[in-house]
Amino acid sequence: MDKIVLASNNQGKLTEFQRLFSKLNIEVIPQSAFNIPECPEPYITFVENALTKARHASQYSGLPALADDSGICSVALQGAPGVLSARYAGDNPKSNSANNAKLNEDLSHFADKNVYYVCALVLVRHLNDPQPIIAEANWYGQWQSHAAGSNGFGYDPHFYLPEHEKTAAQMSQDEKNRYSHRAQALKILLAKLQQSNNLSTSKF
């Protein structure tokens, strides 16, 4: 597997995955290169949406496909924004600043500022892969009312990490590649992929 399609048009995600997979000599190609239309995300769980997007991208491209469904969850808001993170403030148009402002306002009524990023990764080797490789990870932090940093995207400027004394947007790319929810999920995914490859070449 030397090429995979990323089932996303998000430039921030593409850049992160290209950096992470380059060490494995795997080229990550955005679905826009194949003119793949947007895939509906009708489900309330990250993993269901990721699986749907991965199959969709594989169907149109004929290649293995990786889908990421991620977002931020608030303990006080019972998991919101969750799968609606990218369009929490509406999708006409989607806006990071509007999403951050809405979550900031919603959390201002609660003392509990604990939030966590979720990443669900699904890799399908082909459209009808009966056993997709699935990995999930959480990254825990606290909501900071004022934005800080410019190295991230989405909710990163408000996602404060007490152990690092900075927001995700104040982290270097190397730090994010070690600690982020996406990096953690990818590590799990790659371990599962290696295990799967070992099994497929074993003689029973």
- CATH assignment of the domain containing 108: 3.90.950.10
pLDDT at 57: 97
Residue 134 pairs in a beta bridge with 122
Type of residue numbered 47: V
Q: Catalytic site residue 156?
A: no
pLDDT value at residue 92: 81
Residues of the chain with pLDDT under 50: 203-204
DSSP letter string, the chain? --EEEES---HHHHHHHHHHHHTTT-EEEEGGGGTPPPPP---SSHHHHHHHHHHHHHHHHSS-EEEEEEEEEETTTTT-BGGGGGGTT-STT--HHHHHHHHHHHHTT-S--EEEEEEEEEEESSTT-SS-EEEEEEEEEEE-SS---SS--TTGGGEEETTTTEEGGGS-HHHHHHHSHHHHHHHHHHHHHHHHHHHHT---
Q: What pTM value is reported for the model? A: 0.88
Range of the domain at 73: 3-200
**Short-list 136, 176, 175, 140, CA closest to 13:** 176
**90: alpha, beta or left? (left if phi > 0; alpha if psi -120 to 50):** left
At a CB cut-off of 8 Å and minimum separation 6, what does 174 contact? Answer: none
Model pLDDT, residue 199: 59
Task: Supply the pLDDT for residue 203.
Answer: 47
Q: Residues 64, 33, 9, CA angle at the centre, nearest 5°?
A: 85
Catalytic residue among 2, 68, 69, 106: 69
Phi and psi angles of residue 65, each rounded to the nearest 5 degrees, phi first: -135, 140
Q: Supply the Cα-derived Rg of the chain in whole angstroms.
A: 17
What local confidence, expressed as pLDDT, does residue 145 receive?
A: 97
Number of domains in the chain: 1
